[in-house]
Amino acid sequence: MDTPLPDYLTEVLDTCGGDDGGELAAYIPELAEADPDRLALALCMLDGVVYAVGDTDARFSIQSISKPFAYALALADHGLDAVVEKVGVEPSGEAFNEISLEVGSGRPFNPMINAGAITVHSLLDDERVRAGFSAFAGRDLEVDEEILGSELETADRNYAIAYMLRNHGVIDADPRAAVAGYVRQCSYLVGVEDLAVMAATLANGGVQPVTGERVVERWVARQALSVMTTCGMYDAAGDWFTSVGIPAKSGVSGGLIGALPGKGGFSAFSPRLDGHGNSVRGVQVFERLSSDMGMHVLETPPPARPPLREHASVPQACALDGTQEGSLYEIQGSVDFVAMEQLLRELDRDPPPEVGNVVLDLTHVHEVRDVGRRMLLEGARRLDLDGHHVSFVDPEGMLRAFSDDDPDGDGTIDVGDGTEVPVVRSR
**Interface with its own copies in residues 208-267 (CB under 8 A):** 218, 221-223, 225-227, 229-231, 235-239, 241-242, 245, 247, 261-264
Contacts for 420 with CB less than 8 Å, ≥ 6 apart: 412, 413, 414
Nearest to 284 by CA among 13, 5, 9, 8: 13
Tell me phi and psi for residue 342, to 5 degrees: -65, -45
- Window 370 to 389, contacts with its own copies (CB under 8 A): 370-371, 375, 378-379, 382-383, 386
Give the sign of the dihedral formed by CA 375, CA 381, CA 385, CA 390. Answer: positive
Is there binding between residue 88 and its own copies (CB under 8 A)? yes
Give the sign of the dihedral formed by CA 193, CA 195, CA 196, CA 201. Answer: positive
Is there binding between residue 204 and its own copies (CB under 8 A)? yes
Query: Which residue from 11, 24, 36, 49 is in contact with its own copies, where contact means CB under 8 A?
Result: 49
- The region of 126-134, 142-150, 184-192, 328-336 touching its own copies under the rule CB under 8 A is 328-336
Query: Which residue from 305, 314, 407, 409 is in contact with its own copies, where contact means CB under 8 A?
Result: 305
Contact pattern from residue 162 through residue 201 relative to its own copies, giving x for each residue in contact according to CB under 8 A and a dash for the rest: xxx-xx-------x--------------------------
Minimum CB distance to its own copies smaller for 86 or for 272: 86
Least distance from C-beta 361 to its own copies, angstroms? 13
Eight-class DSSP state of 92: -
- The region of 2-10, 52-60, 138-146, 186-194 touching its own copies under the rule CB under 8 A is 2-10
Nearest to 181 by CA among 120, 134, 228: 120
Query: Which residue from 78, 369, 389, 427 is in contact with its own copies, where contact means CB under 8 A?
Result: 369
* Residue 114 annotated as binding site: yes
Q: How many residues does this entry show for the chain?
A: 427
Q: Using CB atoms within 10 Å of the CB of residue 405, give its burial: 0 to 12 exposed, 13 to 18 middle, 19+ buried.
A: exposed
SS3 content of the chain, % helix, strand, coil (to 5): 40, 20, 40
The answer to whether the beta carbons of residues 235 and 94 sit under 8 Å apart is: yes
Minimum CB distance to its own copies smaller for 141 or for 328: 328
- Window 3 to 22, contacts with its own copies (CB under 8 A): 3-5
Least distance from C-beta 90 to its own copies, angstroms? 4
Distance spanning both ends of the chain, measured CA to CA: 37
Give the annotated binding-site residues.
64, 114, 151, 158, 182, 234, 252
